[in-house]
Amino acid sequence: MNLRRLCASGLPIAVLVTICVLALAGCGGSSGAAEKPETARPAAQILRDVHSAVAAATSVHLSGHVTSTTAVMLDLHLDRTGGSGAVASKGISFRVTRIGNAAYFTGTQAFYRHFTNAAGIALLNGKWLKVPFTDSRFAAFSRLTDMTGLLGQVLQPTGTVMKAGTRTLDGVRVIALRDTTNRGTLYVAAKGAPYPVEVVTGGAHPAVVRFDHWNQRITLRAPSQLVHLWQLQKLATASS
């Protein structure tokens, strides 16, 4: 599991740990004709089927927690055009919405301190900051709404993956695929489309992240009460 690629960012916030520890296992390729039940397939083929199912999905909801130096909670609804959700970690919390090329953020003062001064924090109080999705200064946060990129990172291989039996999670029959490198486990739906159901990692960064509501339509609305990035930059210049 390569945790460093997605963690590289100029904004040191605990949410980056969340994304970095989610990567479990996966490989590219096409699933081909399904002549056998998913449980009868070898681990590598199941992972190819997972990859294909995820690539064809239109939306997903993911939620859960991960522990690094502190616990990080996340709750995100994503589709191929954007997404929205919330992230929280010991006093630092924010909400994010992206619609196309526009990203919007609102959060606690502790969150704002990562990119603005006291005057900027006062301006943002009770409002949303609008930034271009491509702005590199906010890339670490904007990536949380990129369904293609985020799930692509989650499904990156890092070690040998082996089948570890079946079980039932909240009424869903799943196949367990264990990554022998980091002792993480990916649970895949055993019936129907082989979507990821849950990722569990142990060791130094324990995490549990659930995936559900695949292909259910989500509604994204631009927030009101906006502060534009140029306004924040102008205020920072004036108060420096």
pLDDT of residue 32: 41
Instruction: Tell me which residues of the chain have a pLDDT lower than 50.
Output: 1-35
The two three-digit tokens of residue 117, written as one number? 């001064």
The two three-digit tokens of residue 82, written as one number? 């954007």
pLDDT of residue 222: 95
Cα separation, 236 vs 119, in Å, equals 7
pLDDT of residue 240: 62
pLDDT tens-digit series, residues 89-109:
887 899 999 999 999 999 999
pLDDT of residue 72: 84
Q: pTM for the full model?
A: 0.82
Helix orientation angle between 15-22 and 147-154, rounded to the nearest 10 degrees: 60
**Spatial contact of 220 and 82, defined as CB atoms under 8 Å apart:** yes
Domain spans of the chain, in order of start: 4-159+199-235
- Edge-to-edge strand ranges of the sheet holding 161-169: 161-169, 172-179, 184-189, 196-201, 207-212, 59-67, 71-79, 82-89, 92-99, 102-107, 128-132, 226-228
The two three-digit tokens of residue 3, written as one number? 């945790």
pLDDT of residue 5: 31
> Which 3-state string (H, E, C) describes 22-79?
HCCCCCCCCCCCCCCCHHHCCHHHHHHHHHHHHHHCCEEEEEEEEECCCEEEEEEEEE
Nearest to 178 by CA among 195, 157, 192, 193: 157
Torsion angle of the four alpha carbons 40, 44, 50, 55, in this order, in degrees rounded to the nearest 10: -140
pLDDT of residue 12: 40
Strand ranges for the chain from DSSP E: 59-67, 71-79, 82-89, 92-99, 102-107, 128-132, 161-169, 172-179, 184-189, 196-201, 207-212, 226-228
